[in-house]
Amino acid sequence: MNKELGINQLKRRDFLKAGLVFGAGASGLAAGYAAVPDAFARAVYAAKKGGLANDNILVMIQLAGGNDGLRTLVPLADPALHDLRPKLAGPMVSQALPLNNQYGLNHNLGGIKGLWDKGKVAIVQGVGYPNPTFSHFESIRIWETGDPTRRQVDGWLGRTLATSYDSNGHPLTGCACGATDAPGALRDLQATLTVIQNQKTFGFTGGTEVEAAVGALYKGTPGIYGALFDTAIATATETMATLRTSASSYQPMADYSDKVKLVYSSKNQLAAALQLAAELIVTGTGVKLLHVTLGGFDTHYTELNRHDDLMGYLDSAVSAFYQDLAAHNMADKVLIATWSEFGRRPKENASGGTDHGAAAPLLLIGDPVQGGLYGAEPSLTTLDSTGNLKYAVDFRSVYQEILSGHLGADAAKILGTTFDKVPFLKAPVAV
124-179 pLDDT, tens digit per residue, is 999 999 999 999 999 999 999 999 999 999 999 999 988 887 544 567 889 999 98
Residues 340-367: what's their mean pLDDT? Answer: 97
- Is the distance from CB of 214 to CB of 37 less than 8 angstroms? no
Output the pLDDT for position 302. 92
* Assigned fold of 28-201+258-415: Alkaline Phosphatase, subunit A (3.40.720)
Mean pLDDT of the chain: 82
Output the pLDDT for position 388. 96
What is the number of alpha carbons within 13 Å of residue 377 lying toward its C-beta? Answer: 19
Residues 297-310: what's their mean pLDDT? Answer: 94
Which residues are CB-contacts of 22 (< 8 A; sequence separation ≥ 6)?
28, 29, 202, 203, 204, 205, 236
Q: What is the DSSP pairing of strand 194-196 with strand 174-177? A: parallel
Cβ-count burial 198-220 (b if 16+ within 10 Å, e if not): bbeebbbeeeeebbbbbeebbee
Per-residue pLDDT reduced to its tens digit, 23-71: 334 433 333 222 222 222 233 333 334 444 478 999 999 999 999 999 9
Output the pLDDT for position 381. 96
How far is 122 from 143, CA to CA, in rounded Å? Answer: 20
How far is 85 from 70, CA to CA, in rounded Å? Answer: 10
* DSSP code string of 276-335: HHHHHHHTT----EEEEEE-----SSSHHHHHHHHHHHHHHHHHHHHHHHHHTT-GGGEE
Tell me the range of 98-107, 184-193, 224-233 where mean pLDDT is highest: 98-107
How far is 402 from 398, CA to CA, in rounded Å? Answer: 6
**Phi then psi dihedrals of residue 216, to 5 deg:** -70, -35
Name residue 339's beta-bridge partners.
Answer: 62
How far is 181 from 173, CA to CA, in rounded Å? Answer: 17
If pLDDT is split at 50, 70 and 90, which confidence band does 246 have? confident
Output the pLDDT for position 403. 96
Output the pLDDT for position 410. 94
Domain regions of the chain by residue span: 28-201+258-415
Per-residue pLDDT reduced to its tens digit, 360-415: 999 999 999 999 999 998 999 999 999 999 999 999 999 999 999 999 999 999 99
Residues in the chain: 431
Instruction: Give the lowest-confidence range in 102-116, 162-176, 222-236, 264-278.
Output: 222-236
Q: Residue 316: how many CB atoms within 10 A of its CB?
A: 22
More confident residue, 349 or 287: 349
Output the pLDDT for position 266. 44
Element (H, E) at 103: strand 103-105
298 has a pLDDT exceeding 60 = yes
211 has a pLDDT exceeding 60 = no
Q: What is the percent of the chain where pLDDT is above 90?
A: 63
How far is 56 from 66, CA to CA, in rounded Å? Answer: 28
Output the pLDDT for position 373. 98
Output the pLDDT for position 215. 55
Is the model's pTM score more than 0.75? yes
If pLDDT is split at 50, 70 and 90, which confidence band does 295 have? very high
Which residues are CB-contacts of 429 (< 8 A; sequence separation ≥ 6)?
52, 54, 56, 404, 405, 406, 407, 408
341 has a pLDDT exceeding 90 = yes
If pLDDT is split at 50, 70 and 90, which confidence band does 19 have? very low
